[in-house]
């Protein structure tokens, strides 16, 4: 499976180019999916706690919401950490899943 070019973004980390997309997963969870841009290798999924998709549903009572937005700079930090924890973006393999806890990745596999 590959990430569609439509609706996704590219980012370069080191000398490598990756494609990434953010999607709502469940209430209070966003999912970051990353794949090498040139090689259809192993997919990386990172669950991130955020209520950003509930903002307009809960408006104007939004002061207690976790309105975390995932920025490209954060994706650039997640990619090398995932590689350090076993993600092989240039090789075929089973989906590798993590949960972002603060600035640390916790394996869900």
Question: Residue 2: pLDDT band by 50, 70, 90 thresholds?
Answer: confident
- Supply the pTM of this predicted model: 0.84
Q: Which residues contact 10 (CB under 8 A, 6 or more apart)?
A: 17, 18, 19, 20, 37
> What is d(CA 55, CA 46) in angstroms, rounded to the nearest whole number?
21
The CB density around residue 89, as the number of other CB atoms within 10 Å, is: 23
More confident residue, 28 or 16: 16
Higher pLDDT, 69 or 92: 92
pLDDT tens per residue, range 22-81: 988 877 788 999 999 998 899 999 999 876 555 555 556 656 655 567 889 999 999 999
């Amino acid at each position: 499976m590959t990430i569609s070019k439509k609706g996704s973004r590219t980012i370069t980390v080191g000398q490598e180019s990756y494609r990434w997309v953010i999607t709502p997963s469940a209430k209070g969870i966003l999912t970051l999916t990353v794949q090498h841009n040139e090689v259809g290798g192993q997919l990386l999924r990172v669950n991130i706690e955020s209520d950003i998709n509930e903002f307009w549903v809960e408006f104007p009572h939004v002061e207690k919401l976790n309105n975390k937005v995932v920025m490209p700079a954060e994706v650039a930090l997640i990619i090398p950490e995932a590689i350090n924890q076993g993600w092989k973006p240039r090789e075929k393999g089973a989906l590798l899943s993590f949960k972002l806890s603060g600035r640390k990745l916790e394996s869900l596999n």
